[in-house]
């Protein structure tokens, strides 16, 4: 009889102690309660409820501010805590967010800006300069302007174009060219001839290569009357004009 009582006592002592979960009230063996390394209190929330708590904290507070579920406890969950007690999909999300944050702290790490691309890589100025080329999708971006890579342009050329100064300067150059061309070229005044004639230097007595019409470059007077009547056949505004008409 005494032996049976002793055996019963040993069985009772070897049986794991239990505790009711503070959330769901389910009776659970104490060793099965998640125990956080940095907490000083006894765990009161079962593994299932703790798993749900981690998912809720991640959605509502983000990966940095997830705390112990015990009332009044301000201990933050570590990466190891989440890895051990969270559901696999929750841990994957948590791990991705924390890894992304760590990468963002690296000044040389750049995320790809390509459509639907979630890749990133270390990019240091030097060999590649201002061009970021994603190794995953090939998308290129200018790391100075944080915009799509300006193909065929340096950053200085891109700034020059985007500021509108390039267009303004081009229009000014075109206007200057037109003015120069108008001074150097004239249309042949010959009958029914519209040939453009260019004069770079030399005599003001011109001969059209197309219709062979001869004229004065300055006043466009034809040279037939000039030969017959003299310089008085030039227009009065012309420097060659004189009143001596023969």
18-104: CATH class: alpha beta
Average pLDDT for residues 56-72, to the nearest whole number? 86
Which carries the bigger pLDDT value, residue 209 or residue 200?
Answer: 209
Residue 171 has pLDDT above 90, yes or no: no
pLDDT at 36: 85
Q: Are 187 and 198 in contact (CB under 8 A)?
A: no
Q: Are 185 and 194 in contact (CB under 8 A)?
A: no
Query: Which residues in 177-214 are b (16+ Cβ under 10 Å) and which e?
Result: eeeeeeeeebebbbeeeeeebeeeeeeeebebeeeebb
pLDDT tier at 19, thresholds 50, 70, 90: confident
Residue 222 has pLDDT above 90, yes or no: yes
Q: What percent of the chain clears pLDDT 70, i.e. is strictly above it?
A: 88
Residue 206 has pLDDT above 60, yes or no: yes
pLDDT at 95: 87
pLDDT at 21: 87
In the block, tokens 């227009």 appear at 235
pLDDT at 127: 44
What is the model's pTM?
Answer: 0.44
Rounded to whole angstroms, how far apart are CA atoms 78 and 64?
9
């Amino acid at each position: 009889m005494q032996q049976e009582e002793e055996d019963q006592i040993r069985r009772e002592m070897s049986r794991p102690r239990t505790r009711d979960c503070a959330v769901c009230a389910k009776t659970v063996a104490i060793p099965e309660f998640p125990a956080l390394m940095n907490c000083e209190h006894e765990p009161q929330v079962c593994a299932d409820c703790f798993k749900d708590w981690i998912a809720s904290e991640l959605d509502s507070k983000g990966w940095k501010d997830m705390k112990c579920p015990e009332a009044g406890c301000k201990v933050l969950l570590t990466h190891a805590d989440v890895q051990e007690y969270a559901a696999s999909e929750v841990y994957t999300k948590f791990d991705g967010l924390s890894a992304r944050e760590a990468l963002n702290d690296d000044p040389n790490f750049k995320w790809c800006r390509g459509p639907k691309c979630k890749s990133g890589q270390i990019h240091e100025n030097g060999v590649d300069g201002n061009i970021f080329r994603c190794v995953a999708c090939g998308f290129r971006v200018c790391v100075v302007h944080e915009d799509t890579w300006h193909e065929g342009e340096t950053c200085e050329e891109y700034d020059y174009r985007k500021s509108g100064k390039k267009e303004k300067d081009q229009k000014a150059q075109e206007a200057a060219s037109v003015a120069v061309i108008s001074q150097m070229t004239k249309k042949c005044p010959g009958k029914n001839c519209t040939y453009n004639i260019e004069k770079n230097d030399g005599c003001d007595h011109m001969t059209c290569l197309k219709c062979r019409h001869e004229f004065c470059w300055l006043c466009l007077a034809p040279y037939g009357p000039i030969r017959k009547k003299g310089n008085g056949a030039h227009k009065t505004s012309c420097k060659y004009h004189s009143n001596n008409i023969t």
